[in-house]
């Protein structure tokens, strides 16, 4: 279809015309016409709507082939521009001027949303085509997935004189005395809470277990000065946003206490001081048999159909093999056990690592009066806290959060690379005086693989960067000393023995050395067989999607969720939709070959 850009066509009209042409092509199953609506190197990211997968396809011909495989089953129809969503508009994404439009449509399985970005086709003057398209399943047909619906609220609990009241009902529900949950969520941080909320309010009986003594302890017990590094409006949990009175950057204890309130308000079933001991999957019965241990030492066998690991990217501490560490006469601890520096005033401390935790621990120790030296193992990306917020720019555009979430989900991996390269270059220029000062002090900088900065470092490996809230300045002015791990020969009783013969003395060594992969968590809690079957968790696969995250895995009935509060809020919906679809018999928990 031709679009004459020389005419004063509004974004609304251009989006409507493209959408009509797309629906017409799909309705006629004319894949050639559908392909012609995309740039030759355009992208389509589907989140369940067409394929029941989270996947990205690049290239007009590949998009047409993927649509061809999905159309008969999906039966997409009634594409429309909704009046209650952000209207089509001209935007700049990843350095590209585009018309960005949110649309709705229906499928054989339910209602869906999409985002299309239209750009001028350099190879066809006067025409626009789709640069990116995303399609996401939002709700299942005939199933009340909206927790705010009148029907669900009236039917949730009814008054019964002489019978159970609400508290009786809740106590009985979370005791599981006479039944097992359909879903067991392992981990009660933001990942577990988001997943359990979506599942519970989709009508799926869900139990969260967490080894901590109190809900929120996974944040509450972290180091004393910890505050979130991204702004509050990005971090809301599903269905229950933070109060408007909250600070821009949320303190850890504030968030931890909110988790407790959240569990009660959303009526989530949660067992604290409970850990997964082991489990196995029954291929015939299609359920797990798992053993959990309660705080009193008793064990309970549960038979959920699904197990969701929500232990995050920070679960099992990683302890590197450090020569001579067993000879060190001081105190050694992982950064996950560090709380505050009060006991180390006037003493010498070494912090091994230069990521966020390492810098925060070093700064806290210095503020407490300790003599601190950081040990850098590898080059690190440094960005000021203010500049780091640029990657969340969509959330500052003044549009509803649900639209922000949809737009954030819609960018395919190749364009994310370009967007992060651009934002990293901008941040690097603003931070140049700080970065130059660090370089003069011998601090080794990098800007991420392919210069994509911290966000890709997080998504690819879960760390390797620092948002500067003051520690970098302390390194620049010499308040915190710096040495390199490569210059250490080994550790000895007094501290780090350097290759030049010097000794850097220490009373404390904090290992800010990160955490193991969730595959290792599965290996420790289930079996080597299951861990080997699923492979690595987190980091990008060859298709530009996070490995094993929020989707069916090679082990039926085993799911994973992790990430920032925003990621957990967004993708918990799609995780819950898939489990709901499995429970309703719409899809199989077995991953198709």
For 71-88, how does the pLDDT look when each residue is reduced to its tens digit (9 = 90+)? 999 999 999 999 999 999
**If you average pLDDT over residues 470-487, what whole number do you get?**
98
Stated length of the chain: 593
Q: Where is 38: in which H helix or E strand?
A: strand 38-47
pLDDT of amino acid 150: 46
pLDDT of amino acid 264: 97
Burial 411-443 (b: 16+ CB within 10 A, else e): bbbebbbbbbbbbbeebbeebeebbeebeeeeb
pLDDT of amino acid 1: 46
Q: In this structure, what DSSP letter does residue 592 have?
A: P
CATH of 325-511, one of 3.20.20.70, 3.90.226.10, 2.60.120.580, 3.50.50.60: 3.50.50.60
Q: In this structure, what DSSP letter does residue 251 have?
A: B
| Contact between 76 and 107 (Cβ < 8 Å) | yes
Q: In this structure, what DSSP letter does residue 78 have?
A: E
Burial class (CB in 10 A: 0-12, 13-18, 19+), 393: exposed
Q: Which two tokens stand for residue 513?
A: 């050395």
Is residue 270 scored above 50 in pLDDT? yes
Mean residue pLDDT across the chain: 94
Question: Which DSSP string do the residues of 128-172 spell out, in sequence order?
Answer: EEEEEEEEEEEEETTS---TT-HHHHHHH----TTS--HHHHHHH
Do 11-140 and 165-315+517-583 come out as alike in CATH topology? Answer: no
Tell me the longest C-alpha to C-alpha distance in the chain: 81
**If you average pLDDT over residues 323-334, what whole number do you get?**
96
Which segments of 368-517 does DSSP mark as H helices, in order? 385-388, 401-410, 413-430, 432-440, 453-461, 471-476
Angle at CA 488, nearest 5°, toward 482 and 494?
Answer: 90
Task: Report how far apart the first and last C-alpha atoms of the chain are (Å, whole number).
Answer: 37
Closest listed residue to residue 192, CA positions, set 560, 582, 589: 560
pLDDT of amino acid 189: 96
Nearest-angstrom CA–CA distance, 288 and 281: 4
Question: What pLDDT band is residue 4 in, cutting at 50, 70 and 90?
Answer: very low
Nearest-angstrom CA–CA distance, 263 and 271: 11
Q: Where is 565: in which H helix or E strand?
A: helix 565-583
Q: Which residue's entry shows tokens 């003395």?
A: 505
C-beta neighbour count of 86 within 10 angstroms: 19
Pairing of strands 183-186, 306-309: parallel
**If you average pLDDT over residues 408-418, what whole number do you get?**
96
**If you average pLDDT over residues 581-592, what whole number do you get?**
92
Range of lowest pLDDT (262-266, 376-380, 459-463) = 459-463
Q: Where is 301: in which H helix or E strand?
A: strand 299-302
pLDDT of amino acid 126: 78
Closest listed residue to residue 589, CA positions, set 559, 544, 548, 545: 559
| Contact between 535 and 548 (Cβ < 8 Å) | yes
Q: What percent of the chain has pLDDT over 70?
A: 96
Q: Which two tokens stand for residue 357?
A: 């935790």
pLDDT of amino acid 313: 62
Is residue 154 scored above 50 in pLDDT? no
Nearest-angstrom CA–CA distance, 441 and 476: 6
**Architecture of the CATH domain 11-140:** Roll (3.10)
Residue 343 falls in which region: left (phi positive, over 0), alpha (psi -120 to 50) or beta = alpha
pLDDT of amino acid 152: 55
Nearest-angstrom CA–CA distance, 237 and 194: 6
Nearest-angstrom CA–CA distance, 495 and 501: 12
Q: What percent of the chain has pLDDT over 90?
A: 89
Q: Which two tokens stand for residue 377?
A: 């193992």
Which segments of 176-236 does DSSP mark as H helices, in order? 190-200, 217-220
Is residue 363 scored above 90 in pLDDT? yes
For 211-244, how does the pLDDT look when each residue is reduced to its tens digit (9 = 90+)? 999 999 999 999 998 999 999 999 999 999 999 9
Q: Which residue(s) pair with 119 in the sheet? A: 129
Domain residue ranges in the chain = 11-140, 165-315+517-583, 325-511
Residue, of 1 and 427, whose pLDDT is higher: 427
Q: Which residue's entry shows tokens 């094993």?
A: 548
For 163-181, how does the pLDDT look when each residue is reduced to its tens digit (9 = 90+)? 889 999 999 999 999 999 9
Reported pTM: 0.94
**If you average pLDDT over residues 14-23, what whole number do you get?**
96
Cβ neighbors of 253 (< 8 A, separation 6 or more) are: 219, 220
Q: Which two tokens stand for residue 374?
A: 């950081």
For 353-362, how does the pLDDT look when each residue is reduced to its tens digit (9 = 90+)? 999 999 999 9
Is residue 255 scored above 70 in pLDDT? yes
Q: Which two tokens stand for residue 281?
A: 């999957």
What are the counts of helices (DSSP H) followed by strands (DSSP E) for the chain?
A: 18, 25
pLDDT of amino acid 516: 87
Tell me if residue 76 falls in helix, strand or coil. coil
Question: What pLDDT band is residue 5 in, cutting at 50, 70 and 90?
Answer: very low
Nearest-angstrom CA–CA distance, 192 and 454: 24
pLDDT of amino acid 146: 63
Distances (CA, A) of 385 to 25, 227, 480, 587: 47, 12, 19, 43
Closest listed residue to residue 188, CA positions, set 258, 114, 291, 109: 258
Residue, of 158 and 318, whose pLDDT is higher: 318
Give the best-scoring range by mean pLDDT among 134-148, 363-377, 511-525: 363-377
Is residue 8 scored above 80 in pLDDT? no
C-beta neighbour count of 505 within 10 angstroms: 16
| Contact between 67 and 31 (Cβ < 8 Å) | yes
**If you average pLDDT over residues 244-259, what whole number do you get?**
97
Question: What pLDDT band is residue 149 in, cutting at 50, 70 and 90?
Answer: low
pLDDT of amino acid 6: 39
Please tell me the class of the 165-315+517-583 domain.
Answer: alpha beta
């Amino acid at each position: 279809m031709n679009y004459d850009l020389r005419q004063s066509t509004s974004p609304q009209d251009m989006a409507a015309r493209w959408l009509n042409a797309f629906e017409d092509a799909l309705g006629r199953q004319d894949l050639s016409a559908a392909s012609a609506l995309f740039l030759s190197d355009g992208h389509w990211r589907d989140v369940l709507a067409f394929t029941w997968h989270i996947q990205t396809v690049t290239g007009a011909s590949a998009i047409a082939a993927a649509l061809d495989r999905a159309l008969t089953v999906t039966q997409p129809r009634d594409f429309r521009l909704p009046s209650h969503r952000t209207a089509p508009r001209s935007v700049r994404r990843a350095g590209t001027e585009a018309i960005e439009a949110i649309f709705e449509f229906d499928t054989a399985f339910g209602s869906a949303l999409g985002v299309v970005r239209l750009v001028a086709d350099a190879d066809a003057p006067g025409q626009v085509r789709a640069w990116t398209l995303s399609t996401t399943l939002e709700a299942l047909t005939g199933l009340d997935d909206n927790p705010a619906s009148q029907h669900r609220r009236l039917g949730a609990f009814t008054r019964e004189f002489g019978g159970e009241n609400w508290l009786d009902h809740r106590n009985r529900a979370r005791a599981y005395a006479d039944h097992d949950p359909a879903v067991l969520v392992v981990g009660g941080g933001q990942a577990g809470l988001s997943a359990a909320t979506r599942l519970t309010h989709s009508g799926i009986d869900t139990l969260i277990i967490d080894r901590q003594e109190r809900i929120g302890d996974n944040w509450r017990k972290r180091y004393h000065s910890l505050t979130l590094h991204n702004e509050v409006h990005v971090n809301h949990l599903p269905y229950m946003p933070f109060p408007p009175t909250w600070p821009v950057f949320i303190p850890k204890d504030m968030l931890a206490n909110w988790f407790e309130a959240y569990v009660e308000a959303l009526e989530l079933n949660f067992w604290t001081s409970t850990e997964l001991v082991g489990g196995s999957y029954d291929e015939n019965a299609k359920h797990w048999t798992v053993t959990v241990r309660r705080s009193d030492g008793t064990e309970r066998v549960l038979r959920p159909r699904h197990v969701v690991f929500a232990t995050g990217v920070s679960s099992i501490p990683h302890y590197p093999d450090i020569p001579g560490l067993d000879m060190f006469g001081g105190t050694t601890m992982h950064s996950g056990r560090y709380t505050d520096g009060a006991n180390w005033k006037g003493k010498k401390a070494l912090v091994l690592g230069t990521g966020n935790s390492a810098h925060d621990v070093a700064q806290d120790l210095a503020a407490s009066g300790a003599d601190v030296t950081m040990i850098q193992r590898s080059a690190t990306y440094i960005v000021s806290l203010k500049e780091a917020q640029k990657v969340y720019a969509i959330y500052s555009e003044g549009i509803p959060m649900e639209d922000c979430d949809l737009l954030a989900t819609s960018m395919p991996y190749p364009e994310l690379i370009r967007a992060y390269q651009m934002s990293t270059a901008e941040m690097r220029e603003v931070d140049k005086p700080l970065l130059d000062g660090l370089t003069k002090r011998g601090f080794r900088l990098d800007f991420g693989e392919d210069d994509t900065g911290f966000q890709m470092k997080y998504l690819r490996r879960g760390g390797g960067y620092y948002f500067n809230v003051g520690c970098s300045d302390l390194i620049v002015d010499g308040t915190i000393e710096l040495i390199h791990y490569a210059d250490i020969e080994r550790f000895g009783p007094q501290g780090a023995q350097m290759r030049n013969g010097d000794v850097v003395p220490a009373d404390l060594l904090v290992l800010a050395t990160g955490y193991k992969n969730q595959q290792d968590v599965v290996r420790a809690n289930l079996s080597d067989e299951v861990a080997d079957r699923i492979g690595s968790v987190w980091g990008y696969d060859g298709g530009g999607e996070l490995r094993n995250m929020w989707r069916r895995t090679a082990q039926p009935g085993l799911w994973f969720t992790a990430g920032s509060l925003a990621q957990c809020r967004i993708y918990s919906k799609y995780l819950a939709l898939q489990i709901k679809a499995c429970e309703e018999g719409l899809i199989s928990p077995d991953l198709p070959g």
